[in-house]
Structure 1
């Protein structure tokens, strides 16, 4: 079976719109949460999110037509893809374009466009007018399609939609297509732009979001006894995956090996995770098996932990069940800093796991000051400050509404 490595990274998030800045802020334990400025949030129970910096503009990276014709989530994807492709340094003109593909993830697609167009329609006094780009801008597959079009990548191209597990699902599929010899390079990851009135209102209705409006930066507190819901985030993460021998032959910089991945389903509830973490347990076990690793060989685990009362506890039980004999496993929940990027979460957290492997640093879980007493004993959750330690292998969990579990494993090359 062919080995697969990571040769390029790109990110757009509240903590940075390039990988270097993003990683520095993650290691330093910075929060990206703040009061929403994209619309007036006063009428909502939750009035904050991990929104991109106010001085960030997609016009810095994209031309007028790319902005006009694409929803914000696609714009984020294009910017992160540009970073990752440049970072990887591969030249598609020097190889068959059919050897390079795109598998991308998103949970909601063009939500902002959808809301704007429907609002205009309902307020129209005469004949309703729809933007001719309305449908293409809202399609969930359009980010992956536009990356392919922009760079002339003619290989495998489709989109995975598994709610908040979407990006990890895309990464797993991209891994396997290279393993099977169906591609030499795959662009993969995820993007979402859910800081909209409909998204905030909808997740408020589900009682999924924190309402700590008086202190947004302390709102996301995974595993903490006072956690009250997640903080919405936005952005994109992109990885360039490459067949190992191909990367080595062209002298590419290799960050880490994508050693394994797995997907399972809870088959339990539309929004809640299985209370005992059954699907998550099997997902982690299968990912380790796929990577050829034992549970005691994993040094760092990036938890899905969104700061919800039910979800964090069930994941903690699952982690304990799989890694209870691994006393050296360090666990952190980086959504405490980035917010929850929905379909982009897995890609952004994969980048964190990769940089943990390359830099031998475990990022902290911020805001967590009093661990929930119901958590299994022995779980080593890194809080406060980053932990310097050798990280030979890192595992990253993502779970999505509908019961989707997707797990990826990276290791030193």
Structure 2
């Protein structure tokens, strides 16, 4: 059974239910560290390294798990240099080649890697592609270094507690998620950002301790507690992004996100072709990219890349992963080619203005300079700067007195060998 079965049932505080917006039950660990075993998690700090350094404090030890013996201990702080060598690695000052070593600091001190201190131990593993460096640490201690990177510490403590529960649930669900078993999560946005001790904050520690052991579950299992920085005004239903049925990931309004993250970037055909080849999807010369299906929130569900050899259809999530989550910042976007029509059948240059006036009480359109292209549905408009919300479903779009037609205020336009992606949201 999974490690979370050590948790006992309790009700989750209402602040978490409201803030995270999941339909789930909470589990809480019974008591403190003294009467329950805290699960440990393995965090990948560095992969495929040819050379790296690990600093052990005074009293630190080095242990060979394959031979079940200690190979070194240090009476003073020592920076150890590791070098990859033919599917093994060497350690400066030691006379052997190793497949795996565990570096353990003395109790009360901390180990250092890449100029960051970490709780727990660090394991170095030789693989076919280089050295993997993995931090093994109690989940609660791990969360100390996660929560400050995922929400601002200026937030109310109860909100930070909600984030701690979401992050803990995500971590528990990820235990042993990778088949090789060497690590459970990355230390980046591939999973959760983790900065070790250097990123810890007093409020984050208080939030973690105040929710110790609490996770969210659905039908007795920890949920996939996906979260993000910005929903672009509306969250997406899980079934449109992730495989399988996740009924607790429902679409809900997120009005505070409407103006915060608007973005665009140029995607060159040559870059797209290169990315596709790295994914084993060679379609030849890129001819076109088009959104072939949308979810009810207006997000692309599937994207087709048309090539000279063949075509390939991606889920929007896979397309985003392939291009890079730092570039396609969310799955709420549209794609525009040179002289193409954007989604929803509106011309790239034909836009009209909305004039919020006394007879349009309750209307709020979140687009640059009030410019919009068209109504997507009864709740949203597609504008030059992303998606905007209509608070009154029966609002009518009207032109200004001059009847002027405006071009979307986007700094860069697509060319014949590139596409413009315009989106909203982040994370």
TM-score using structure 1 length: 0.25
Larger proportion of strand: 2
User: Which structure's CA Rg is the greater one?
Assistant: 2
Question: Which structure exhibits the higher relative contact order, with contacts defined as CA atoms closer than 8 Å and separated by 6 or more residues?
Answer: 1
Larger proportion of helix: 1
